[in-house]
Structure 1
């Protein structure tokens, strides 16, 4: 198995030559499977055409913001599943300004954008539409591309480290912790 955190594995050689190596057959298969599940390239889902525009208008309907605030707010509301780039937000802000839907006020070297009366009318006309971060499946996609895969991969790295450098007692404790975590994860799925 390749990977920067794997070192010499769970063999006696990898544990300082103590002669107390881990059996490698099953553990490496399990690690490969876990690593494969969480190390897949995770990409931010591409939002549909016009979603940046819709998101910007929805946020500015709540309060005036500057560009970086808009980016952060979209990322936060989508639970990390969508973080638009400055290269998509700032041109959208300029376009909305050109269309007369928003205006910009400069203060302390930073532009703060707010809706114009025409912009409010557009937002009110589209009030029945959900914000892009509220679309069906967005929460599920967020869980798949956000914190859960990272947490799983971080866990796999910790398991590998305990296996490489831990004493037999530490390895036993780690196995107990992992068994309990597995049971708790399945109990989450069993909830209504």
Structure 2
């Protein structure tokens, strides 16, 4: 599904190797997110990133992951075949580089291909940015910190030997009240 349809429209599916911190090779994460890009869209994103500066495959994965705040990172199993296809299409070419990693740069044909699709590419990058903004809103550091604090207090309190049934019920009541208050926030 198209990313622009909203977060709820592209959730639901199966698991990936990336676990709960991001998305796997086809954009699917722990909560079963569907593909962020189809193959043609990913080719355009990679081509644009390579046009910005010559890159290695891993650099491309990192660039996408950073742009989305860690919400999406295509796997090497998708990136490298896509790079091979872009190379076969004559849109990118290998440059001299140090070490074993292949460094790719855009060709004149690749530049022309990008120029023909400027609006589409801008939309794809807007989707990446929106994914990162969504993650920042929903998985913000201050909320994670507060949840971690609550967890640690509970672990500490429950490990003490003096937690009787009344104290346990009081703790549960405080947590339930907090959940209800959060639910009612507008």
TM-score range, shorter chain: 0.5 to 0.7
Stretches of structure 2 that go unaligned for 5 or more consecutive residues are: 1-19, 21-29, 163-170, 172-177
What is the TM-score when the length of structure 1 is the normalising length? 0.57
- Partner of 1:113, secondary structure, is strand
Q: Over the residues paired in the alignment, what is the CA RMSD in angstroms?
A: 3.7
Please name the residue that 1:128 is paired with. 119
Seen in structure 2, the aligned counterparts of structure 1 residues 149 and 87 have a Cα distance that, compared at 3 Å, is farther
Q: Distance in 1 between matches of 2:55 and 2:34?
A: 24
Please name the residue that 2:76 is paired with. 86
How many equivalent pairs are there? 136
Stretches of structure 1 that go unaligned for 5 or more consecutive residues are: 1-37, 169-174, 176-181
Larger radius of gyration: 1
Distance apart, 1:97 and its partner CA: 0.1
Describe how 1:1-192 pairs up with structure 2 within 5 A: 41-43=30-32, 45-49=34-38, 50-107=40-97, 108-129=99-120, 130=122, 132-135=124-127, 137-143=130-136, 151=144, 154-165=148-159
Larger RCO, structure (CA 8 Å, separation 6 or more): 1
Cα deviation per residue 1:63-82 (whole Å; 9 max; x = unaligned)?
00000000000000011111
